[in-house]
Amino acid sequence: MTLRFKPSQPLTLGVELELQLVNTRDFNLTRGASDLLAAVAKAKHPGEIKPEITESMIEISTSICTGYAQVLDELQTMRMVLAGAAARLNLGIAGGGTHPFQKWSERRIYDAPRFRRVSELYGYLAKQFTVFGQHVHIGVRSGDEAVRLAHALARYVPHFIALSASSPFSLGADTQFDSSRLNVVNSFPLAGFMPSVRDWEEFELYFESMRGYGIVESMKDFYWDIRPKPEYGTIELRVCDTPLTVGRAAELAAYAQAIVASLRENPAWAPHPNLYLVYNYNRFQACRFGFAAMIVDPVGRQHTGLGDEIVATLTRLAPYAERFGSGAALAGLLKAAEARMNDARELRNVLERHGSLADVVRTACGRWMQA
């Protein structure tokens, strides 16, 4: 057994955001990562600012945070550093899960060994992977706890899709999805959900089998919606589109923390036997319809409105949020859920007002810089 799980402080947080780099003429994606990273290389900031798979995107990541306030502060600080450098380079930076009209064939793979390997293995899918997501890491005590909580958190995947959805447009068209980004992720053979292993010992056996077949080399080769990260001592939630604002990104991290805090008080490790029978259907509903989705309860088998379920869950978890000082964060999400207003709807409203996808990106750049 070689996949050692490094324990971490329970319920600590880390956030990663993949961001769009656009020119300030027509707001198309541009090959700006190398120049922007060089411009901020000596700047003081928390966390990391680093490349992603193509030259038209970067990733920012926080340090290990105790809660919402620290996550928000670090994201705001990194945004300020990037904003100054981007202005000097005539670059725009935006959130959003997809760029509305970029062409994948124009993308350039960032020159790094892992990204070259992904490109060689997956061909054009690597350039199509110029989509933008938020990942949330939650600290756990052990590999066994990571497995149990990853299964338990899977029940809430539609919540995070609907709340973060910001990718209604792709290749110049309205996809009719609130989150079209996950359709790109689904193209990879190791996407989807983690297998139904019961504990860390079973997970190690699964990993060693996959590595023995030569299918994977590391945990990075799994593109699951939720995956353990043994080197960090976390579980990683990967279904969120990058929101239009760092404020919403911090709110989503607070929601994940509150859910996992509630799940840790339930000693039962196993998901309901039917959870993964309905998982892909519920995930599709959330991607397609956002808050208007109808999802299936794996226990009672009834269909439930996702928006109503999110409102009920946010209300139920308010005491956990108060415990971590994130009451305002969950209140912000509750307001959005009650109004059925996510970033996808906001971007569609911008297009309706202005009639131009370039104006959609311009507005997204302004939103990311200001909130």
pLDDT for position 1: 52
Nearest to 252 by CA among 25, 17, 29: 17
3-state helix, strand, coil split of the chain in percent (to 5) is: 50, 15, 35
> pLDDT, tens digit, for every residue of 78-112?
999 999 999 999 999 999 999 999 999 999 999 99
Question: What burial class does residue 93 get, using C-beta atoms within 10 Å of its C-beta: 0-12 exposed, 13-18 middle, 19+ buried?
Answer: buried
> pLDDT, tens digit, for every residue of 65-81?
999 999 999 999 999 99
pLDDT bracket for residue 300 (50, 70, 90): confident
Question: What burial class does residue 213 get, using C-beta atoms within 10 Å of its C-beta: 0-12 exposed, 13-18 middle, 19+ buried?
Answer: exposed
**CA–CA gap between residue 124 and residue 339 (Å, rounded):** 39
Q: Is residue 268's pLDDT more than 70?
A: no
8 A C-beta contact, residue 329 and residue 321: yes
Q: How many CB atoms lie within 10 A of CB 41?
A: 9
Question: What burial class does residue 361 get, using C-beta atoms within 10 Å of its C-beta: 0-12 exposed, 13-18 middle, 19+ buried?
Answer: buried
Q: How many CB atoms lie within 10 A of CB 124?
A: 12
8 A C-beta contact, residue 261 and residue 323: yes
Say whether 23 sits in a helix, a strand or coil: strand
8 A C-beta contact, residue 132 and residue 62: no
What are the backbone dihedrals phi and psi of residue 32, each rounded to the nearest 5 degrees, phi first?
A: -110, 0
Say whether 10 sits in a helix, a strand or coil: coil
Nearest to 251 by CA among 10, 11, 13, 9: 13
> pLDDT, tens digit, for every residue of 313-322?
999 999 999 9
Distances in whole angstroms, Cα of residue 100 to Cα of each of 94, 114, 168, 218: 12, 27, 8, 32
> pLDDT, tens digit, for every residue of 155-168?
999 999 999 999 99
* Rounded mean pLDDT, 257-279: 85
Q: Is residue 135's pLDDT more than 90?
A: yes
Report the alpha-carbon angle 305-325-319, nearest 5.
50
**CA–CA gap between residue 251 and residue 328 (Å, rounded):** 8
Q: Give me the amino acid identity at 206.
A: Y
Task: Give domain limits for the chain.
Answer: 13-370
* Rounded mean pLDDT, 221-230: 97
DSSP string covering 205-255: HHHHHHHHTTS-SSGGG-EESEEEETTTTEEEEEEEEPPSSHHHHHHHHHH
Q: Output the pTM of the full model.
A: 0.97
Nearest to 322 by CA among 10, 67, 88, 70: 67
8 A C-beta contact, residue 96 and residue 363: no
**CA–CA gap between residue 365 and residue 41 (Å, rounded):** 22
Unique residue bearing structure tokens 């139920």: 316
* Rounded mean pLDDT, 169-190: 96
* Rounded mean pLDDT, 244-257: 98
Q: Is residue 267's pLDDT more than 70?
A: no
Average pLDDT, the chain: 95
pLDDT bracket for residue 266 (50, 70, 90): confident
CATH class for the domain made up of 13-370: alpha beta
